[in-house]
Amino acid sequence: MSYDDLNPGPGVKPLNKRSSKNLALLRPLDAPRGLTAELVTRLTSDITSGKLSPGSRLPTEQEMIAATGVSRTVIREAVAALRADGLVVTRQGVGAFVAENVRRPFRVDFDERSSLREVLNVMELRTGIEIESAGLAA
């Protein structure tokens, strides 16, 4: 079964009554940095951009497996990471849903820093914050 079989196009009913309308957002993964990280990045982007609206149901594990070509473990790890970031809530036996109040934690992704100067700027910022935090905590 291919991705096109699962997502035949607009106006066509899903495979079954439990199939998700959000399945169209997924496509096969081919990620050199790790499949879980790539899936988390894609889903995070879809959530923060509004493609996946608050309260909407994510595709089922089986749908994601078929659409992305990755294992169940990768899907579960990605959903767990999204849940830890507060982007997704899960309900046992029901599925995973986009959180109603998505709050993005502050993070610095060193993979996105393109130069040594940018990395040093981030380290300078951290040093200032950590020193001030230690002073307030004392």
Q: pLDDT band for 85, please (50, 70, 90 cuts).
A: confident
pLDDT(52) > 50: yes
More confident residue, 108 or 51: 51
Of 9, 19, 116, 13, the residue nearest 63 (C-alpha) = 19
Q: What is the CATH number of domain 3-103?
A: 1.10.10.10
pTM score of the predicted model: 0.56
How high is the mean pLDDT of the chain? 79
Q: pLDDT band for 125, please (50, 70, 90 cuts).
A: confident
Domain ranges of the chain: 3-103, 108-138
The tokens describing 57, both together, are: 């149901």
Q: What is the pLDDT of residue 101?
A: 79
Q: Which residues of 87-125 are buried (b: 16+ CB within 10 A; e: fewer)?
A: bbeeeeeebbbbbeeeeeeeeeeeeeeeeeeeeeeeeee
